[in-house]
């Protein structure tokens, strides 16, 4: 290997190492910010379920500001919004927004458009979350609300199930949709059993009333 070629390769190696080292440092710092931001997303979800919509909205506002700062710093250091931790951050933020919409019935404005992949992943995760909500409503005897929640699950699943994109664009999405299908099917089974049980009890009560009226006559 000639000395000139050796020097050229060494220069390329040095430049590559310096670039990647800076990216590594930047990513470690971004991961710390992302961890704190994800905690706020979960806190917002918890507040929304507790009907503390003021707190939930405040946390969403904070997350939006955090994400703006994170993506700005990431871009400055050559880290793109397709980086998985950033996709996940948008994903969990959107899920928190969806739950805020669902529980409060209020609007919440997104200041910037999230990456398309994050939107689809978030909707997929929401289906599983709504199953948990449906089960809780059934436990509390709120059958009509549980049925409405199930119908929302079905509508979301029907939208996602028509999306035909490969792993190169949406890694793991097909598996998520398969999980969504299983969630919808199991939710239907549980809800249908509860509806049948309610119908049976109503029928028995009606029968008892008729028998009671006959005895009185």
How high is the pLDDT of residue 156?
Answer: 96
Asked if domains 1-108 and 115-217 share a fold, the reply is yes
How high is the pLDDT of residue 131?
Answer: 95
Q: By percentage, how much of the chain surpasses pLDDT 70? A: 91
How high is the pLDDT of residue 77?
Answer: 82
How high is the pLDDT of residue 214?
Answer: 52
C-alpha 85: how far from chain center: 14
Mean of pLDDT over the chain: 89
Residues 118-164 pLDDT 10s? 999 999 999 999 999 999 999 888 999 999 999 999 999 999 999 98
CATH topology of domain 1-108: Methane Monooxygenase Hydroxylase; Chain G, domain 1 (1.20.58)
Is residue 209 pLDDT above 80, yes or no?
Answer: no
Helix (H, G, I), strand (E, B) or coil at 113: coil
Alpha-carbon gap, residue 44 to 61, rounded angstroms: 10
How high is the pLDDT of residue 26?
Answer: 87
Is residue 2 pLDDT above 80, yes or no?
Answer: no
C-alpha 137: how far from chain center: 20
Residues 21-76 pLDDT 10s? 888 888 999 999 999 999 999 999 999 999 999 999 999 999 999 999 999 988 88
Alpha-carbon gap, residue 46 to 49, rounded angstroms: 5
HSE, CB side, 13 Å, CA atoms: give it for residue 21: 6
Is residue 88 pLDDT above 70, yes or no?
Answer: yes
Round the CA-based radius of gyration of the chain to a whole number and report it. Answer: 26
How high is the pLDDT of residue 112?
Answer: 86
Which residues are CB-neighbours of 30 under 8 A, at least 6 positions away? Answer: 70, 73, 74, 79, 85, 86
Alpha-carbon gap, residue 72 to 55, rounded angstroms: 26
Cα dist. 4→9, 11, 174 in Å? 9, 11, 51
Class (C level, CATH) for 115-217: mainly alpha
Find out whether 157 and 180 touch, Cβ atoms under 8 Å: yes
pLDDT class of 200 with cuts at 50, 70, 90: low
Specify the pTM: 0.82
Mean pLDDT value across residues 181-196: 92
How high is the pLDDT of residue 202?
Answer: 63
Is residue 215 pLDDT above 70, yes or no?
Answer: no
Which one-letter DSSP state was computed for residue 170?
S
Domain ranges for the chain: 1-108, 115-217
């Amino acid at each position: 290997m000639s000395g000139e070629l050796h020097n050229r390769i060494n220069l390329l190696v040095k430049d590559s190492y310096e670039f990647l080292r800076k990216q590594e440092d930047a990513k470690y710092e971004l991961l710390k910010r992302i961890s704190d931001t994800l905690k706020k997303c979960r806190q917002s979800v918890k507040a929304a379920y507790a009907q503390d919509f003021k707190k939930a909205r405040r946390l969403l506002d904070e997350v939006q500001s955090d994400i703006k700062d994170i993506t700005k710093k990431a871009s400055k250091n050559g880290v793109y919004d397709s980086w998985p931790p950033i996709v996940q951050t948008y994903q969990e933020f959107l899920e928190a927004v969806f739950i805020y919409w669902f529980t409060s019935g209020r609007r919440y404005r997104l200041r910037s458009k999230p990456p398309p992949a994050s939107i689809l992943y978030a909707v997929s995760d929401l289906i599983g979350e709504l199953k948990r909500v449906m089960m809780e409503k059934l436990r509390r005897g709120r059958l009509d609300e549980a049925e409405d929640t199930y119908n929302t699950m079905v509508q979301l699943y029907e939208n996602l199930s028509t999306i035909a994109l490969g792993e190169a664009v949406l890694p793991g999405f097909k598996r998520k949709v398969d999980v969504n299908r299983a969630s919808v099917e199991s939710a239907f089974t549980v809800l249908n059993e509860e509806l049948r049980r309610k119908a049976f009890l109503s029928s028995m009560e009606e029968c008892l009333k008729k028998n009671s009226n006959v005895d009185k006559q």
